[in-house]
Chain A
């Protein structure tokens, strides 16, 4: 009996007697003998808590990447998460609950989900939002499946300036569903160049900002699409200062919610955002909280529109998603509530300001230049005389950037990616510049 299992030998005897068997083994006789596993499984002994803590702590200590200052973005950003976020997440009533199937015992979860949906709609300019997907990549992939179901089109147009990590997931989902992926190239300004929309297109994806940090011009795209859906994948922090995609006719807005107070966590768990126009509501995947009344007419919340979901609709469901990323959505809710409109704008502006400040200083160095001429938010691509060498030197000086290998899949050679947030200090910027000044 370990610390997590409360059965004493006396309890066990009592329970066995009530069941009418004499031994625990009698409860496993339905597993035929040939399948019964005797002997070690993992080969591990039982350990005490302090041992496990030390063992795992040592593992954490050997990940030296956290000693580097992260000028590393590519879709995940080092924004500061106020202490209040972590503390609220630690409330056991919230984080040890499951999906709010039983609404009367889940008003806490359902209320914050409703708040989250409202905030995401406000940021994106959409009519409806769900309560989360796994991450931005799968959210985008599911948006494509949604467009495929809505239009019957079998080709999706994907910008080349999309994160290769995200793109890989979209490719896998599309292959599974029999959807062709066609690339939309980018121009010298780093922004997408949409020429024609082929017959049978189910959707066009735009990333705002894109993988190069560039701010896309979303005007007029929806109008070219006919019945195909316009899908925009966003950085939610940027939406404090960038026009909501809804204003440009977006049908579905997805995004990676990690910048909203969620740690890197070596890439997971993350937070998938998914919002849409009203007309796509019944095609939308995932869980949604809705406001209703109780038997006495008091306001309350329930899981709404469950008839879209797998546990009711089975193979005809809008998606197979069940468990999502609720706790990360709660983090984002608390983060957005803590920042408020002006706080979020300050985070966005300070991040953008820092990026532009550094970019300007680096551009003045001989041999270094911005790869693209277009407007950018908090991230830019820096061409270097020796990109590999630059990344290495920066790392030796204690700075992490997006290495050349992470840009090559998008057709960019000889460059590194540099991202900044409000957390980057003057001293850190000075250090960055001095490393590059130190010769090539």
Chain B
């Protein structure tokens, strides 16, 4: 694949910049000789038409939600409304420096305040911070709150363990470890839910809390969630809910009422902000009254008709973001909530769960479904049972049928996992076409397995060698 360095010619530029008045040598003399750069950095030299064509060509090698069905489980790849893109580019927001006074930032502070209020209601929890820049950043913030809470009570480091179901996202244990917590894994039951007996056994006076994903990563709602949180609280621990899967119960249940002490949102999942090729996202964190005194600062507060920043919280853990989090992402989420309203939010969860169960009902006839029964917004198939065709082959073959593959090999408790999350924004015809492609691939696996094992056949590149990239990493141009 040609890079931008392969384009252009020396002396070409794609941008015009006001030239300095004085010569480069004269200006460079303002810099002490030892700190002065003696050679220009090696950057591309292209004209604007070449630049645009290069990145347009790259975009055509890519697949996004705007290209087609993207059932990447646990990532909620729903349609990203175009209105929100326009709003995030309004000069009154995009051009606003965060160092300006509150008086000069009223609109932005209002947007933050309004989103905070909406998210608190959606979580059913009394306090929130919008600082975390992604879900994992919210988790880290939550773990910092946990440490602070127990430290203030004189129970840290005595309570230094965090319990995690074996179906948890990888970010959960990594976040807990960053704050020095010891991770203790909890086995799942044959139904894929938390094993209450194992939980009871694990709950001792060294446990700071539990991190749960609700519904869990198998797409199964923990029907004993109230009992789980009660047990943890009784043992003196706190409960963290990973909100990656909020799309499945939006407006239909409140984490606060389930007994959550900490709950993070993924605005780039549930609230439709674009994933950007890997980010930016936003991971606001709602907390119970118990933890509110420790939230990051500053807070946006409304006094009369004026929004201002409050620093009134002496026990705060401090900042986790230099300013107010990913504000332009928050703004998109606010616009989404404003447009949908309560009724729309409920339609989102209805549509997401309906589409997932529809696909489940169709596909469980052809593929193994290790944890059967009603699912929420996603479900996990196994690619086992198709001879020597593996899940990775099924995923690659789906590309030939024009689909982005589901999440593969996660959660770890399902062998050869295929985690399918259709979201609410796919038309029925697309869901049907996906089912048909999956059925054909299952047939192919039996009748012409090599076609599947050598897939993809129609993509810009054939199957790529990841092992070589790991063995001999080439991570930049020479």
Contact = CB atoms under 8 A, between A and B. Distances in A.
Contact of B476 (A114, A269, A324, A325): A114
Contact of B62 (A16, A109, A163): A109
A65 interface: yes
B292 interface: no
Interface stretch (B32-40, B195-203, B230-238, B436-444): B32-40
B110 interface: yes
A178 interface: yes
B473 A305 contact: yes
B94 A265 contact: yes
Contacts of B350: 24, 27
Contacts of A270: 322
A35 B258 contact: yes
Contacts, number: 686
Given A53-B87, A304-B470, A346 B97 contact: no
Interface string B328-343: 1101001101111111
A243 B38 contact: yes
Nearest to A109: B277
Contact of A340 (B12, B30, B139, B395): B12
A346 B18 CA distance: 8
A345 B40 contact: yes
Interface string B1-44: 10111000000111111111110100110111011111011111
B245 interface: no
A94 B64 contact: yes
Contacts of B188: none
B462 A298 contact: yes
A235 interface: no
A12 interface: yes
A66 B60 contact: no
B355 A15 contact: yes
Interface in B212-260: 220-221, 223, 225-226, 249, 251-254, 257-258
A7 B424 contact: yes
B120 to A, nearest CB: 10
Given A109-B277, A263-B94, A6 B426 contact: yes
A41 B15 contact: no
A57 B338 CA distance: 13
A169 B110 contact: no
Interface string A97-123: 111111111111101101101110111
B360 to A, nearest CB: 8
A96 B66 contact: yes
A294 interface: yes
Given A108-B62, A319-B178, A15 B96 contact: no
Nearest to B72: A98
B148 to A, nearest CB: 9
Interface size of A as a range: 35 or more
Nearest to B36: A243
B98 A264 contact: yes
Contacts of A240: 37, 40-41
Interface in B273-318: 274-281, 296, 317-318
B1 A111 contact: yes
A113 B92 CA distance: 30
A218 B32 CA distance: 11
A93 B66 contact: yes
Given A169-B320, A243-B38, A135 B62 contact: no
Given A241-B28, A322-B171, A339-B13, A18 B361 contact: yes
B133 A138 contact: yes
Interface stretch (A68-76, A196-204, A363-371): A68-76
Interface in A210-243: 215-219, 239-243
A193 interface: no
Given A172-B317, A177-B178, A7 B43 contact: no
B226 A34 contact: yes
Interface residues of B, number: 201
A281 interface: yes
B139 A103 contact: no
Contacts of A34: 226
Given A108-B60, A334-B55, A42 B345 contact: yes
Given A56-B335, A62-B107, A108-B60, A176 B342 contact: no
Contacts of B347: 1-2, 5
A350 B19 contact: yes
Contacts of A356: 30
Nearest to B392: A102
Given A76-B98, A177-B179, A61 B40 contact: no
Contacts of B257: 35, 37
A379 to B, nearest CB: 12
Nearest to A351: B20
Contacts of B67: 92-93, 96
A15 B83 contact: no
B414 interface: no
Interface in A353-399: 353, 356, 375, 377, 395
Interface string A179-200: 0000000000000000000000
B177 A315 contact: yes
A134 B83 CA distance: 25
Given A36-B253, A400-B100, A311 B170 contact: yes
Contact of A19 (B100, B180, B361, B396): B361
Contacts of B154: none
A153 interface: no
Nearest to A288: B475
A265 B96 contact: yes
Contacts of B170: 309-314, 317, 322
Nearest to B456: A104
B340 A2 contact: yes
Given A217-B32, A290-B475, 18 more contacts: A11-B428, A12-B354, A30-B221, A44-B341, A52-B87, A63-B92, A82-B15, A118-B5, A132-B278, A168-B318, A239-B41, A320-B139, A336-B44, A339-B13, A340-B43, A341-B41, A342-B13, A344-B41
Nearest first, the 3 A-B pairs at minimum CB distance are: A267-B323, A60-B92, A92-B66
5 contacts: A59-B92, A59-B108, A65-B105, A91-B56, A95-B80
